[in-house]
Amino acid sequence: MPESTLPLTGAQYEIAAGEYRATVTELGAGLRSLSLGGQAVISEHGADEVPPAGAGQLLAPWPNRVDHGTYSFGGRSYQLDLSEPAHGNAIHGLTRFASWTVCHSQPDLVELGLQLLGQPGYPFCLALSARYRLSAQGGLEVTVTARNTGSRPAPFGTGSHPYLLAGTGTIDSWQLQLPAARWQPADGRGIPVGRPREVAGSEYDFRERRPIGSTSLDTAFTGLYTDDDGCAWARLTGPDAEIALWAGAGYRWLQVFTGDALGPDARRRALAIEPMTCPPNAFVTGIDLLTIEPGDSTVQQWGIRAARIG
């Protein structure tokens, strides 16, 4: 690629600590790569490639889907663009294809920011920042901050979309442990149906580590078990790595996706575990939806640690 040619994901910000390496992109403040000792622990993509199937993307001001893109807030109704036209939904927020600006960088840390201004479907103003930090022992820590810079309360949710990679081949033999007591049924368009159900006695019970097998997941989980620091830990073990994803206290949901709907080269080759502050369709239902008052902020943290096998 000529030096004057800009890759599709824009500027690339590389950070490192110990054996960890990561690349964050100008496009969407996305996580394009994460490795330990040269071994990828998330599904990576090229700098000149649009992130496939949401890989590594930051999702704001909502994660997942809004049914038909229509919602009400503060006594008014709004219509979002239908960014998932095949299912008639608005999906994964408004910032993942925006150009973010680097605010601060050092060898082990990069922070990017974006001023989200009002638009017809979301007439609110937010100053957003995404900080990615690596440490030799702690791995990756991601801090997402949203500050309401507008004149009215704003509805808000956020999530992130890493695909964890614990080896080659398919995920069927990989071991999964999810710290979740309930799962959310959904229709064929990914919109929740009814109340969350207990995982006990179902195919969705991964509270104890077990092989994924043939289980097909594009499922939101809640009722998360947390440690003394308020973090929920999901763990994935494959032939090459043990990967732990932690979600801080603000993340009350995990979306887990086995990739069955992806093309043959990507189908069931990595497991997306997506920390979310609210469930699918939260702009409609209000479930766990945050309201940020003018001048106020909300801060969420999640991260990934990995260990090589063999």
Each of the 310 residues of the chain gets a pLDDT tens digit; together they read 556 799 999 999 999 999 999 999 999 999 999 999 999 999 999 999 999 999 999 999 999 999 999 999 999 999 999 999 999 999 999 999 999 999 999 999 999 999 999 999 999 999 999 999 999 999 999 999 999 999 999 999 999 999 999 999 999 999 999 999 999 999 999 999 999 999 999 999 999 999 999 999 999 999 999 999 999 999 999 999 999 999 999 999 999 999 999 999 899 999 999 999 999 999 999 999 999 999 999 999 999 999 999 7
CA distance 41 to 34: 6
Q: How many residues does the chain have?
A: 310
User: pTM for this one?
Assistant: 0.97
Secondary structure (3-state) at 96: coil
CATH top class, domain 12-308: mainly beta
Tens of pLDDT, residue by residue over 17-33, are 999 999 999 999 999 99
DSSP-assigned states of every residue in 228-275? TTS-EEEEEE-SSEEEEEEE-TT--EEEEE--TTS-TTTTTSSEEEEE
What is the pairing mode between strands 20-25 and 31-36?
Answer: antiparallel
CA distance 161 to 143: 14
Q: Which helix (H) or strand (E) segment is 306 a member of?
A: strand 297-308
What's the pLDDT score for residue 4?
A: 76
Interior/surface letters 55-80, b for 16+ CB within 10 angstroms, e for the rest: bbbbbbbbbbbbbbbbbebeeeebeb
User: Quick one: tokens of 2?
Assistant: 């000529």
Residue ranges with strand state E in 4-88: 12-17, 20-25, 31-36, 39-40, 57-59, 65-67, 70-73, 76-79
Tens of pLDDT, residue by residue over 125-146, are 999 999 999 999 999 999 999 9
Q: Alpha-carbon torsion 186, 257, 91, 75, what sign?
A: positive
